[in-house]
Structure 1
Amino acid sequence: MRENKLTKTRNILLSALAAVTLAGTSVLPALADDTASTTTTAGSFTKTYTLTLPANEDAANYASPAETFTFSSGEFGATKTTANEASLAAVKNTTWNTATDTVQELSALDSTTQTAIAAAVPATVTLDTAAYTASGAATTAGNAVAVNVTTKGTYKNPGVYYYDFHEVAGTTAGVTYSENSYRVALNVKNDNGTFKISSVKLVNKYTGNKVDSITNTYGAGKLSFTKKVSGNTGDTTKKFTVTVTLTSDKTVKSTIFVDGINAPDASQLTRIDPDWTGTKKLTYTVVDGTTITLRNIPAGVSWLVMEADYSKDGYDTTYSLATGGTASTSDLTKTIPMVAGQDNAVTITNTRDTTIDTGIFTSNAPYFMILGIAVIGGIAYFAANKKRHA
């Protein structure tokens, strides 16, 4: 009998709580669980890492850098809080009033509602990082990994619980980071009296539409330069010095591969190791017909190709640029940012032309002209003298 009275008292308290009004709606936040909080892997969403490189190039020469993508709660641009968290921001189709079994639909949680339900609903969920090793990107659909979503605590009512988060922008050269704001939607269903997470979906925060994946891209390009010597006195065996300058304000974590054709010094064709920021200057010795190629230069890294001054040797130097097979009018005295998937081909032409002295039609011509006149005059004198004596 005493137990029945306690039960009736509890029901009266629940009915009284049902009259609590939040934002003009009579709702009842679920009571806090007396048991210890539990940790559950609710599900996952997909993270994809893709590769962009010039056409007809071997992906082996465009190795993407190792990268670990991380997340933070709130919208993109917000101050980073606890790493790899998403924060509760909206609830939909959720039964809050257990006394009347009324379904309330809240598009967003204001501060009052947030406080009311904080005791019963996990305020945050934890997101795994998405780690890729070197060469972890792919050339087509991309390399997809699952990002697990973990909850701590229990849900007391069915419905869809939305948690806001964004990707944290990194500083790796050539890698694009998502600047969108996302929501991970946890669908909680009643399973024979126990509320369980039945699915996890990634959605656009503003449209609510499902998003297949958060996609990041590593983009890189190619730079080559070819030496040509021309002119009637151009020396095709002469060695010229060319300097390639690479500049990056982000960390270059990519290996840049170098190879060449007709290079007089093969020891120069060494790869450029990763993990540097600022400026790299690379010097190459070339001759007529030499082509040096640098592959896997991350997008955003600026480049400049400059030959030493050979004007004192009588050479006139010109530069031309073809990007993807199309001639460009770019100013090659200034640095040019690399574009993902771009193929830049610079041609350096040294021309030396000299007017050849034949010794007849140049400096000696006046003397031969005077001699000719003298000979003609002599012939005329002897002819006139002979005629007079006759």
Structure 2
Amino acid sequence: MKLQNGFRNRVGRYAAGLLTGAALISMVGTTAMAAGITQKKGVAGDGNTSVKNITLTKKVLTDGNTYAPATSFTFNVTKGQQGEYDGNPVLAGIEGGLSAITTVSFTPGEIPEGETMPGVYTGTATLQVNEAVFKDKAPGIYHYQVKEGTPETPYEGIDYDDTIYDVYVYVYVKDGNPYVGNVVSTKTTMVEEDGEKVAKTEKADLIFENDYGQKNNMTHDITFTKEVTGNQGDKNKLFTFNVKVQGASGEWYKVLIKTDGNSEAREEHLESGAASVGYEIKDTGSIQIFGLTKGDIYTVEEADYGKDGYTTTYQGGEKTGTVDEDHTAVKVINDRTTAAPTGIVLTAAPYALLMGLAGVLGFFFRRRGSHTR
């Protein structure tokens, strides 16, 4: 909002501004702001009828592999300053004239069959206009500001929107009674012009966007791949992995399971803090978990196959830990190697020697016996 310098020296102008509402009532058919505008970006109302509620939109932006966060978003409405907007004098907002009466809550849930996980989760809240507040006030344009509330404990992985919207409530008079015929919201952004950053204010719908892994790189994935080695390793054997994640209460995590490298991925989900879920994969198979933030603790533990002669090692990561980057990869190697039998010849040699010696002695005894006849 462009603030008018030297406000105190322009009392006359603002006094005239107080009569704006009364004048506007006779100009309803010709005033650009009030002439039947109901859908125009950043503008609510047609100037003739009361505006009771204004819709506010909340969007959570993800990487397309992350469930909606299990959290709620609130919004704050504060009184704005006196000043000027669109060539008209503006009055400071009056307490209670505009208020946020609802929050936006998100809950993870099943994705309908045949649909893919959305990249944007959307919800709406309501800003309520209280015309009674303006009953004994002069008609005119009243200034408020709307912004998103930031919780004491922010939801992990989310960047909260710090946009501040300037909202102008147009109070008109009809038959001696005040009513709000228009509400206009604007947003100021910094744009580059002639190599310099300048502030640009435009009408804008009340939309707050929270980055939850789309661009801020705060949600990650990890993949566990199975490899069977050794001269007696069975590449067709199914190995069971017990998988769980401990994160924020109510949070869900997408899981893709491939029985082997050529299998079609099967999509499941894990719920934060729930008991382990067992998945079976074989050589070249994999288990991939999405939507992990830095505080989420995953556990992907293979069952014990030592009794079957396998030695298990984790390569590139641990069976329990946290993830701080995308595409983290861990290879779980099951080796079953049996050495070829050795020492058979040496063990049999003495017996073979004795048998050979017995044969030789037998030959001589037979020869000797034949000469004595």
Q: What is the TM-score of this pair, normalised by structure 2?
A: 0.55
AA at the equivalent of 2:336: R
Identify the match of residue 199 of structure 1 among 184, 187, 190.
184
Deviation, structure 1 residue 214: 1.2
Task: Kindly indicate whether the alpha-carbon contact (under 8 Å) linking 1:49 and 1:138 is maintained by their aligned counterparts in 2.
Answer: no
SS in 1 for 2:249: strand
AA at the equivalent of 1:336: T
Cross-structure match for 2:42 = none
Call closer, same or farther: CA 1:170–1:65 in 2, change over 3 Å.
Answer: farther
Identify the match of residue 285 of structure 2 among 275, 278, 291.
291
Cross-structure match for 1:251 = 249
Cross-structure match for 1:234 = 233
Identify the match of residue 160 of structure 2 among 178, 187, 191.
178
Cross-structure match for 1:69 = 73
Q: Is 1:319 aligned with 2:314?
A: yes
Cross-structure match for 1:125 = 98
Task: Kindly indicate whether the alpha-carbon contact (under 8 Å) linking 2:148 and 2:208 is maintained by their aligned counterparts in 1.
Answer: no
Identify the match of residue 48 of structure 1 among 49, 59, 73.
59
Q: 2 CA distance for matches of 1:291 and 1:170?
A: 42
SS in 1 for 2:340: coil
Identify the match of residue 83 of structure 2 among 92, 97, 102.
92
Cα RMSD for the two superposed structures: 5.3
Deviation, structure 1 residue 52: 1.3
Deviation, structure 1 residue 178: 1.2
SS in 1 for 2:98: strand
AA at the equivalent of 1:150: Q
Task: Kindly indicate whether the alpha-carbon contact (under 8 Å) linking 2:55 and 2:126 is maintained by their aligned counterparts in 1.
Answer: yes
Q: Is 1:150 aligned with 2:128?
A: yes
Call closer, same or farther: CA 1:48–1:241 in 2, change over 3 Å.
Answer: closer
Cross-structure match for 2:259 = 261
Call closer, same or farther: CA 1:203–1:166 in 2, change over 3 Å.
Answer: farther
Q: Is 1:354 aligned with 2:338?
A: yes
Of stretches 128-137 and 301-310 in structure 1, the one that deviates more from structure 2 is: 128-137
AA at the equivalent of 2:74: T
Deviation, structure 1 residue 260: 4.2
Deviation, structure 1 residue 294: 5.1
Identify the match of residue 301 of structure 2 among 284, 303, 306.
306
Task: Kindly indicate whether the alpha-carbon contact (under 8 Å) linking 2:225 and 2:285 is maintained by their aligned counterparts in 1.
Answer: yes
Residue segments in structure 1 that go unaligned for 5+ positions in a row: 1-21, 32-37, 55-61, 74-85, 95-102, 107-116, 264-268, 321-328, 379-390
Q: 2 CA distance for matches of 1:197 and 1:183?
A: 16
Q: What is the TM-score of this pair, normalised by structure 1?
A: 0.53
Q: 1 CA distance for matches of 2:168 and 2:121?
A: 25
AA at the equivalent of 1:199: V
Matches within 5 A, 1:204-223: 209=201, 213-219=207-213, 222-223=221-222
AA at the equivalent of 1:337: V
Cross-structure match for 1:386 = none
Q: 1 CA distance for matches of 2:9 and 2:212?
A: 49
Of stretches 357-366 and 227-236 in structure 1, the one that deviates more from structure 2 is: 357-366
Q: 1 CA distance for matches of 2:279 and 2:181?
A: 65
Identify the match of residue 337 of structure 1 among 311, 323, 340.
323
Deviation, structure 1 residue 315: 3.2
Deviation, structure 1 residue 47: 2.7
Matches within 5 A, 1:135-146: 139=118, 142=120
Deviation, structure 1 residue 231: 0.9
Deviation, structure 1 residue 163: 2.1
Task: Kindly indicate whether the alpha-carbon contact (under 8 Å) linking 2:167 and 2:183 is maintained by their aligned counterparts in 1.
Answer: no
Alignment: residue pair count = 290
Task: Kindly indicate whether the alpha-carbon contact (under 8 Å) linking 1:47 and 1:146 is maintained by their aligned counterparts in 2.
Answer: yes
Call closer, same or farther: CA 1:45–1:347 in 2, change over 3 Å.
Answer: same
Identical positions, percent: 21
Task: Kindly indicate whether the alpha-carbon contact (under 8 Å) linking 1:122 and 1:151 is maintained by their aligned counterparts in 2.
Answer: no
AA at the equivalent of 1:245: K
Q: Is 1:165 aligned with 2:147?
A: yes
Q: 2 CA distance for matches of 1:347 and 1:336?
A: 16
Deviation, structure 1 residue 224: 4.3
Task: Kindly indicate whether the alpha-carbon contact (under 8 Å) linking 2:292 and 2:323 is maintained by their aligned counterparts in 1.
Answer: no
Q: 2 CA distance for matches of 1:362 and 1:53?
A: 66
Task: Kindly indicate whether the alpha-carbon contact (under 8 Å) linking 1:225 and 1:293 is maintained by their aligned counterparts in 2.
Answer: yes
Deviation, structure 1 residue 356: 0.9
Q: 2 CA distance for matches of 1:164 and 1:364?
A: 93
Call closer, same or farther: CA 1:307–1:255 in 2, change over 3 Å.
Answer: closer
Call closer, same or farther: CA 1:208–1:179 in 2, change over 3 Å.
Answer: same
